[in-house]
Structure 1
Amino acid sequence: MGSKKVWKAFTAGMTGIIAAGCILGAAESVVSAEGAVNFKDKLPAWAKPDIEYAAAKGYMKGDERGKFNPNATISRAEFAAILARASSNPSDAGITGFGNIPGWSQDEVNMAVSKGFISPGDYPNGFNPNIPLTRRELAKWVASGLAAKDADFKKALSDTADTLVPVAEYYKGGLNKADYPYVSVALGTGLMGGYPDGRFGPAQTTTRAEAAVILRRFESIQGKKPDAFQDLKEFREVGLTGTNAISLGFEYAKDNGVEESFKKIRNVSTQLKNNIATIKLNRFILVNASKATDVKNLYGRMFVDKDYGTAFKMKKDRYEVFVEYAFTSNIDNMDVMTYLNSSSSPFLHLVGFKSGTISKFGIKTMPYLMGLVDKEHFFKKGIEVTFWGNGFILSNLPISDKDNGVSITVSGGKTFSIYKLD
């Protein structure tokens, strides 16, 4: 990068399931080194192939002692330079970069700016090149780079502005709403991943080993379209409509040619029997899993783990369903049985579930053992409570369309109806 650096040791106990990114068809100015690149320090097994790849391509180098320092933090300037070297994005000379970055990196940083990775407006007090790169910045840079090259990725960013992000910080705090699109694209493409405890770690710094892994994955992603990534398709649909059903192969039923989409009933206030309460459905999330140890979508991992338990046994012919409700009791001392008998539509009074993900992601649901429900917590008169209920819908019975899906009608006769054919 034009100067010798002494890397600060960094020992955060991280696993190698973090993110990714390099660029397919690297710029012609990048010269690949011949043969393997050997470093004198021990490289972590999960990142070793990617570190050696990044070094062989000339994207990353070791220090003057021949060490790679995989656990050292990577600075803003260093990662910007890597992106500038590796990216095949076209440069836009009309974009104004930074005018007074001290040290070696101004040209490299401004090249990353011209290729759409970095917005100078995000750094009104200066770029501060030596500050360690955070995972929040990393997600924004790589997602912005994808969007700068492909209008479909730009659309994916706008589609996910109000999506449900399957990370612990979504409910527990620590993820800004402005982060939703960038984290969604990073997660949905597999560029980045979360930690085993459910966190994304927006403010956490990035190591050199992680940067190498990110570059390598970015290289394979850059030439693809957003629709190539199932999880990103679901994130986009949830952001736009509140459900991921269509992304999982369901279709909307039609009434006089008009689709009975979830948007028709979303957040519609519906009065329950005898005016005991009102309820609104905010999200309708399907989980693709036939058993708790075989969850196929990222949304599923937000709700289902090895400790998952429900009132219904998981089977191959069904999808688990999780509905986010906003519920307001109109009576004092509402008990569980009153809640469960409040409507003839089961999807307007789904029960709770158990899972290790409840505490991991900060999800609110009724206790799995219904008799333990805290009335003050869930059913206090006049207080709106948001929580998740759990059920299932059939998906592949060879009977009729209506048996393979669900139909929910709320106030005003508005209906959400989906089905799935074999």
Structure 2
Amino acid sequence: MERAIVHIDMNTFFVSCERRTNSQLNGIPLIIGGGERGVVASCSYEARRFGVRSAMPIHMAMKLCPQAKIMKGDMELYSRLSHDITEIIQEKAPVVEKASIDEFYLDITGMDKFHGSYKWTSELAQTIIKETGLPLTFALSINKTVSKIGTGEGKQKQNLEIPEHLVQQFLNPLSVQKIPMVGEKTFQLLSRIGIRKIETLSKMPCEVLQQMIGKNGSELWKKANGIDHNPVEPYTERKSISTEHTFQQDTIDIDRLKRVILGMVEKLAFQLRSEQWLTSTVTIKIRYANFDTETKQCRVQYTSADHILTQTVTELFEKLYQRRMRLRLIGVRFSGLVRGTYQIDLFQDTEEMLALYQAMDRMKTRYGFDAVMRCAGASFKPNTKNEILKRKSD
């Protein structure tokens, strides 16, 4: 049976959420971001016509489009509306994967027997638009890759249906940059040997691509030929991530405790960014030598930034740890999670800070968490028998 996979992409989601709240923002160049030295989290189509793009430094965006209005952004609003959209889709679709705060994959294979897959998807889209007031684009095809590329093209050509016999015809004239896994470096590498269109890439011998790009060469060749067997993963919302550290000997050393806390926060914040989560609730837990256990928590603006979370956890610890008894365990938990990319979080941070986090995360991903870390957090050693990593899901 031919699969029927839908990709739904909420158009300029942050911008649309703000315009839903304030209609005076309609039709004007709008940038969601923060500070003159911050980065663009999202921007309207009016701003994009001037060359403004996500992750661009704010000062550069303002040079391109000086008349644009800049707004800090409201992650709580975006998260709430994303949750509303998720509930509408889950109520109607058999299998749903929430890929990010504003995009979804649906597996509706077999539904064409009853309604017609495209008609069913169109009705779902109209329901979402009617109930939330937010615009969207969708594409229906045989797999996730083609559907995702389809939504990108559909924003100019409206919603698309790409049946199996038209997949290659649809892909061939497009730039290889349209393939989700092709970044700027890969595009430049392919361009140097004359591969700029998907059609040219699809006709390359798979073995040659593997020699050029490595293990991803085979996957890239498959996607260029419209082949993607990845399933739509059913969506379950993670509730929290946490870690606890049990000391081999009970301690009252405040400096040591704070160093351990810093290491724990650094590890969890890296996990948040790696899995594209933002947290809104921070909890600190301590257990005394007599096994008394106490916790304290507070809410924060949605974030995954070490320096913000470290300051929050440290302040909570200072308020909580008042008895001056020896401690046997300390723990940190981040909850109230929402999907979001790393740039979404840093509304008020500088582009230098963003570049630093990205560089550190790349090193951690490639060489392991211990490859680079703050000296003050070195007292916390992850992946030891004293560390208990908890992951709570629905």
Fold agreement, TM-score > 0.5 = no
TM-score tier after normalising by the smaller chain length = under 0.3
Q: Which has the higher contact order (CA 8 A, sep 6+)?
A: 2
Higher strand proportion (structure 1 or 2): 2
Using structure 1 for the length normalisation, give the TM-score: 0.24
